[in-house]
Amino acid sequence: MYKHFYGLTFNPFDKSAPVKDAFQSRDHLEVQNRLAFLKNTRGIGLITAPPGMGKTFALRCFSDSLNPNLCQMFYTCLSTISVTEFYRQLCTQLGLDAGGRKSLMYGSIQERLRYLLKEKHRTIFVVVDECQYLGTDILRDFKLLMNQDYDSLDCFALVMVGLPHMNAVLEKPVHEALKQRIVVHYNYNGLSADETAEYIYSRIDAAGGARSIIDDAALRAVTGYCQGTPRIINSVMSNALILGAQLKKQCIDSETILAASNSITLG
């Protein structure tokens, strides 16, 4: 009903937005640039952000930009697994036998990663999401897994992604060696007020709608309530479209945004 009412071809604030329509915010571009740097240098990267900032979507965008003949990305968010389970998962992704002892899997993984880089000229990205939950043992093994040729060669890129708490985890003395090996590091700042408005407009544009379906006061209300978090903006705007259509409002105003925000809070 609301899509027809506002002339939209799809819900512009659905989380399954196509990569081609990605909003180029400062945060998004900074992450893309850092991942591109890792593609050439390899090593360890750390990306941190509060929930709902779009870090996983940024990874999906970067993955889609890769040439599969030159780069390959392995993604996991099973961050509460043991070291052995992590190795088994990585062995499976690399096409290796995952039934051996940890020491054998460790050696096989290092050998395969070296082969892919040296012989196939292929860079592997291993992305571990929700890394703030990782235990000390697995963080220690990350450092060991990167060690090739007497610690003179990085055969792959390891990208740790998580909440800002991960920065405090790495400040512990036990993780000093891992922290020193981080090549790129980025903390999300969230959308600015101007970016919030442009983000909303870009999503409406992508769905074939007119920017006039929301007024300036409503945009300011979204900015104040959502504090630059794309996931919350999406929720508020999705609710506002539904409410606006129900109330037959051709233009979403600040009252509609307030009602949409309250429905999220009460829900």
Whether 152 and 260 map to the same domain: the answer is: no
Specify whether 218 is located in the same domain as 91.
no
With bands split at pLDDT 50, 70 and 90, how would you rate the model's confidence at 100?
confident
What tens digit of pLDDT does each residue of 167-201 get?
Answer: 999 999 999 999 999 999 999 999 999 999 999 99
Rounded to an integer, the average pLDDT of 141-161 is: 86
pLDDT at 222 over 50: yes
- Whether the pLDDT of residue 79 is over 70: the answer is no
Domain limit, last residue, from 132, 163, 187: 187
Give me the domain span that covers residue 131.
26-187
pLDDT value at residue 16:
80
Residue-level pLDDT at 150? 63
Which residue type sits at 16? S
Average pLDDT of the residues of the chain? 93
pLDDT (average), residues 153-177: 94
Q: How far apart are CA 140 and CA 135, in angstroms?
A: 9
Task: Using pLDDT thresholds of 50, 70 and 90, give the confidence band for residue 88.
Answer: very high
- Asked if residue 119 has pLDDT above 90, the reply is yes
Do both 156 and 202 map to the same domain?
A: no
Average pLDDT estimate for 96-121: 92
Backbone phi and psi for residue 123, each to the nearest 5 degrees, phi listed first: -95, 130
CATH number at residue 134: 3.40.50.300
pLDDT of residue 29: 97
Question: Strand 157-162 and strand 43-48: pairing?
Answer: parallel
Q: How many domains does the chain have?
A: 2
- Contact 204/241 with Cβ under 8 angstroms? no
pLDDT band at 265 (very low <50, low <70, confident <90, very high): low
The pTM for the full model equals 0.90
Whether residue 151 sits in one domain with residue 118: yes
- Verify that 101 and 34 share a domain, yes or no: yes
Q: Do 120 and 180 share a structural domain?
A: yes
Cα separations in angstroms, 53 against 127, 191, 234: 17, 9, 11
Cα–Cα separations (whole angstroms), residue 14 to 27, 159, 196, 236, 246 = 20, 26, 16, 11, 19
Residue 92: pLDDT above 50? yes
Interhelix angle 136-145/102-118, nearest 10 degrees: 40
C-alpha 190/C-alpha 49 separation (Å) is: 8
Of 41-45, 111-115, 252-256, 261-265, minimum mean pLDDT range:
261-265
Least-confidence region, from 65-69, 74-78, 129-133, 241-245? 74-78
* 159 and 55 inside one domain: yes
**Would the pLDDT of 155 be above 80?**
yes
| pLDDT value, residue 1 | 87
Q: Does the pLDDT of residue 223 top 70, yes or no? A: yes
The pLDDT of residue 267 is above 50:
no
